[in-house]
Amino acid sequence: MSTEMVKKEQTELQKKELTASERFTGMVMKEFQGNVGVLNLNEYQKQLIRGYFIGIDNALKKAEEARINKNSWKSTKEEDKNNLPVTWQNVNMNDLAIAVVHHAKLGLDMQIPNHLNAIPYKNNKTQKYDIGFLKGYKGLEYIATQLSLYPIRNIVVELIYSNDIFEIVNKDNIVRYNFIIKNPFDRGEIIGGFGYIQYIDESRNKIVTLSKKDIDKRKPSYAAAEFWGGEKDKWENGKKTKEKIEGWYEEMARKTIARATYNAVPIDPKKVNESYAYVIENNDNTYENVIEAQVTEEIEENANKEMIDIETGEVENIEENASAESNIETSPVKNEGPSF
pLDDT of residue 322 exceeding 70: no
Question: Among 7-16, 36-45, 51-60, 238-247, which is the least confidently predicted range?
Answer: 7-16
pLDDT above 50 (res 263): yes
| Together in a domain, 97 and 123 | yes
Distance CA 98, CA 282 (A): 11
Tell whether 17 and 138 lie within a shared domain. yes
**What pLDDT is attached to residue 86?**
95
Q: Distance between CA 319 and CA 294 in Å, rounded? A: 12
Task: Look over the chain and give the mean of its residue pLDDT values, rounded to a whole number.
Answer: 80
Query: What pLDDT score does 161 carry?
Result: 98
pLDDT tens by residue, 24-47: 998 888 888 876 767 889 999 999
Q: Do 203 and 140 reside in the same domain of the chain?
A: no
Domain count, the chain: 2
CA–CA gap between residue 32 and residue 40 (Å, rounded): 11
Q: Measure the CA–CA gap between 143 and 305, rounded to whole angstroms.
A: 46
| Chain centroid, CA 230 distance in Å | 22
**How far is the C-alpha of 163 from the C-alpha of 39, rounded, in Å?**
55
pLDDT of residue 307: 33
The residues that bridge with 148 in the sheet, in sequence order, are 267
Whether residue 121 is found in the same domain as residue 170: no
Are 242 and 318 in a shared domain? no
Domain co-membership, 222 together with 284: no
For CA atoms 221, 327, 111, 54, the dihedral sign is: negative
What is the span of the domain harbouring residue 256?
A: 150-265
pLDDT, one tens digit per residue, over 131-165 is: 988 888 899 899 999 999 999 999 999 999 999 99
**Claim to verify: residue 81 and residue 175 sit in the same structural domain:** no
What band does 70 get if pLDDT is binned at 50, 70 and 90? confident
AA identity, residue 159 = L
Using alpha carbons, select from 241, 246, 212 the residue that is nearest to residue 226.
246
Last residue of a domain, one of 243, 265, 287: 265
Task: Reply yes or no on whether the pLDDT at 237 is more than 80.
Answer: no
Write down the pLDDT at residue 315: 41
125 plus 1 within the same structural domain: yes
- CB atoms closer than 10 angstroms to residue 301: 18
Are 322 and 70 in contact by the 8 Å Cβ rule? The answer is yes
Residue 211: strand pairing partners: 192
